[in-house]
A and B are shown apart, each in its own frame.
Chain A
Amino acid sequence: DADVTQTPRNRITKTGKRIMLECSQTKGHDRMYWYRQDPGLGLRLIYYSFDVKDINKGEISDGYSVSRQAQAKFSLSLESAIPNQTALYFCATSDPKQGNYGYTFGSGTRLTVV
């Protein structure tokens, strides 16, 4: 099994629908992140969480919300999806306790809003 698992892998949804993207990890990392990737724009941070009780907005949080249900689970919700939220979404984890700040990414969720 992958260290960081994202579900679903692909999703097509209609404008105005609520949708949740899920992320779970088996690495035991405290820190989790949601990024969005658009062609030509690299990856941009949506939300991040440094532990279960900590939620922080990233650079493009408008239109999104998150929930950190447990150390291993971090979900991203689009309350009312719109077409410009069509993108590739990545979850990532990190754990600096060992002095290594390297990130591990999930395989991504390709979301299309029609």
Chain B
Amino acid sequence: GIQVEQSPPDLILQEGANSTLRCNFSDSVNNLQWFHQNPWGQLINLFYIPSGTKQNGRLSATTVATERYSLLYISSSQTTDSGVYFCAGSENQGGKLIFGQGTELSVKP
């Protein structure tokens, strides 16, 4: 089966700091996506990023499919960025998503 691995497993930041979260995935993974789960449990889709770079405010993501990794950048972190960040991919075009174990981020004021 496909493999999706995230690092680091947890991260503590001071408000205002920048961070990079990494997702490594196996050969057959497509449709890479990043999600944020807030402390109340809600899952929000941040990026659908099978390749290339996208930006949304203070967040950006880059996927290098040929090297099988994706990065999520958080700049000028805020306490509301706290929660768990998941990356996920599917084995074939449009297939079901398989999730990584997540990176738990805590941003301290």
Binding site for B on A (CB under 8 A): 31, 33, 35, 40-45, 48, 56, 58, 88, 90, 92, 94, 96, 100-105, 107-108, 110
B41–A103 contact, CB under 8 A? Answer: no
Q: Is the CB of B45 within 8 A of A101?
A: no
From A42, A45, A107, A108, name the one whose CB has the most chain B CB atoms within 10 angstroms.
A42
CB distance from A60 to the nearest CB of B (A): 12
Say if the beta carbon of B70 comes within 8 Å of chain A.
Answer: no
A102/B45 in contact, CB under 8 A = yes
Q: Do most interface residues of chain A lie in helix, strand or loop, or is the interface mixed?
A: strand
CB-CB under 8 A from B99, the residues of chain A are 35, 42-44
Q: Is the CB of B97 within 8 A of A103?
A: yes
Residues of B within 8 A of A (CB): 30-31, 33, 35, 41-45, 48, 50, 86, 88, 90, 93-94, 96-102
* A110 contact set on B, CB distance < 8 A: 41
Residues of B within 8 A of A94 (CB): 94
Whether the Cβ atoms of A101 and B41 lie closer than 8 Å is no
Q: Are A43 and B86 in contact (CB under 8 A)?
A: yes
Q: How far is the CA of A35 from the CA of B86 in the complex (A)?
A: 14
Considering the chains assembled together, what is the distance between the CA atoms of A104 and B33 in angstroms? 11
A101 and B96 form a contact (CB under 8 A): no
Cβ–Cβ < 8 Å partners of B33 in chain A: 101-103
